[in-house]
Amino acid sequence: MDGLLRDGEGAERVLIDPAHETPLTPFREASADQVSQAVASAASALPIWAATLPTERAEVLHRLADMIARNADDLARIEATNVGKPLSQARRDVGRASDYFRFYAGVCDKLNGETIPLGPDQTALTVPEPVGVTAHILPWNYPISTLARGVAPALAAGATVVAKPSELTPFTALEVARLATQAGLPDGAFNVVTGGGEIGAALAGHEGIAHVTFTGSTATGRKVMQAASSPVAGVTLELGGKSPVIVLEDADLDAAADGVVRGIFFNAGQVCAAGARLICARSVHDALLAKVAAKAHAMGFGDPLDDPHIGPLISSGQLARVEGFVARAKAQGLTCVLGGARVDRPGFFFPPTIFADVPTDAEIARDEVFGPVLVTHLCDDAEDALRIANDSPYGLVAGVYTRGHDTALWLARKLEAGQVFINGFLTGGDTVPFGGVKHSGIGREKGLAGLSAYLAPKSIILNHARPT
């Protein structure tokens, strides 16, 4: 806050290393008063940062991107230890964070307005102004990359920031804020407050906030939206999902198996866009399932710093949540063909788990588990697959595997999702707009689309009557 690392004035917290179940260094979280101080700090930096020349803003963000890249090893080790993710995946997340700052640095001096023709006596023009102080409420599954995904476009737009990382994963956000100060960001332009849901609620409903960017569960997203109605702030909500992967009869089954395994078991399934529902043509279901199960079975566990295929879940609470879903599915008589019980070693490890040929109305087929649990459904043809895929309250992403280009495009247009992958899954990178429909959210992040939340275009109408 104000460019300085301040001691928290809230409760003491001891986080647990999820791979070893041992305590990490204790720290004090922020208090509700400190949320107000952070918003005031961001408000006082706003006129300074908004008036900074676009090329200078770009230089600062480029420097920050460089500094994140230079500190990648340290940041990745912090992230891997705190979240439990394999080191190479943590490195990739840190690289993505650096890339976000570099991408948005490049647009600082390209935020053009427009002119609107109104006839000979008037001209209207728009000036894209920064929206104001922005709040960023973040999840624990991708702490550093979701931080950068929102903070970089906000800063590029000339807005200022108060970020609240998840209470489980505060460390890399604090590090990035420290680096931002060293990179030359004005004091107060980028603040981080640590703490749990109460701190998030205080931030989302704060009168000084103009926009809230939230990533997390749909239930909390609703609360954030409600809280943000008090300051009449805008919201970007990146919420949960239960994303379908459709595999048709003519698909390349090896490619599909790769995509399915990566889509649901990467980051131990703790991914909002995880491909949690495999909807497969009846005729190839068993052959594909055998390939998926073989690949999943071969995934090794281990210390995140030793870079295993799969790390632990984030917490004992998340492990209990996943175990609960799996136990209820088994009690319902559903067929578990792989995994299904926690791994017998210290740490919150849960193995890749697959339930085959699950009724589409089963709890495990409808609710977001947020763990390494795949369900499969059988379909007759593309139309049947579409019906099953769209029968969900969620609409984040979807995948389609088929060699038929017409069918692929037909499905892509009909699928209720913010992003559709054809013959691949979770591809495309961070310059492509991302966000959901239905209960998966509002608004778009990433790419140029990710800027609009942080810009308030002002229209100016010039009346220029003809000289007499």
* For ligand NDP, the closer CB: 126 or 315: 315
* For ligand NDP, the closer CB: 303 or 416: 416
Q: Distance between alpha carbon 195 and the CA centroid of its chain, in Å?
A: 19
| Catalytic residue (one of 272, 379, 416, 445) | 272
* For ligand NDP, the closer CB: 113 or 433: 433
Distances from the Cα of 223 to the Cαs of 86, 153, 202, 235, in angstroms? 32, 24, 11, 11
Q: CB neighbours of 16 closer than 8 A, spacing ≥ 6?
A: 22, 23, 24, 315, 316
Shortest separation between residue 92's beta carbon and ligand NDP, angstroms: 16
* For ligand NDP, the closer CB: 169 or 402: 169
Shortest separation between residue 200's beta carbon and ligand NDP, angstroms: 2
Report the C-alpha gap between 420 and 395 in whole angstroms.
10
* For ligand NDP, the closer CB: 108 or 192: 192
Residue 272 among the catalytic residues: yes
Shortest separation between residue 400's beta carbon and ligand NDP, angstroms: 22
Distances from the Cα of 106 to the Cαs of 48, 57, 153, in angstroms? 20, 10, 10
Shortest separation between residue 201's beta carbon and ligand NDP, angstroms: 4
Report the C-alpha gap between 105 and 451 in whole angstroms.
12
Alpha-carbon dihedral sign for residues 351, 356, 362, 368: positive
Residue keyed to tokens 């600062």: 60
Report the C-alpha gap between 10 and 12 in whole angstroms.
7
Q: CB neighbours of 222 closer than 8 A, spacing ≥ 6?
A: none
Shortest separation between residue 198's beta carbon and ligand NDP, angstroms: 7
Shortest separation between residue 213's beta carbon and ligand NDP, angstroms: 11
Shortest separation between residue 152's beta carbon and ligand NDP, angstroms: 18
Residue 238 among the catalytic residues: yes
Shortest separation between residue 203's beta carbon and ligand NDP, angstroms: 7
Report the C-alpha gap between 397 and 413 in whole angstroms.
12
| Catalytic residue (one of 79, 167, 238, 368) | 238
* For ligand NDP, the closer CB: 371 or 399: 371
Report the C-alpha gap between 262 and 269 in whole angstroms.
9
* For ligand NDP, the closer CB: 144 or 204: 204
* For ligand NDP, the closer CB: 141 or 402: 141
Residue nearest to ligand NDP (CB): 200
User: Using a CB cutoff of 8 Å and minimum separation of 24, what contacts does 89-96 make?
Assistant: 89/266, 89/267, 90/304, 93/142, 93/144, 93/145, 94/68, 94/69, 94/144, 94/145, 94/172, 95/69, 96/145, 96/148, 96/430
Residue keyed to tokens 């230890």: 81
Alpha-carbon dihedral sign for residues 269, 166, 172, 98: positive
Shortest separation between residue 359's beta carbon and ligand NDP, angstroms: 21
Task: Note the residues at the interface with ligand NDP (CB under 6 A).
Answer: 137-141, 164, 166-167, 196-197, 200-201, 204, 215-217, 220, 223-224, 238-240, 272, 321, 368, 370
* For ligand NDP, the closer CB: 223 or 330: 223
DSSP letters for 44-63 = HHHHHHHHS-HHHHHHHHHH
Report the C-alpha gap between 136 and 236 in whole angstroms.
9
The terminus-to-terminus CA distance of the chain in angstroms comes to 57
**Other CB atoms within 10 A of residue 198 CB:** 15
Report the C-alpha gap between 171 and 331 in whole angstroms.
39
CB 388 within 8 A of CB 376: no
Q: Any idea which residues carry the catalytic annotation?
A: 238, 272
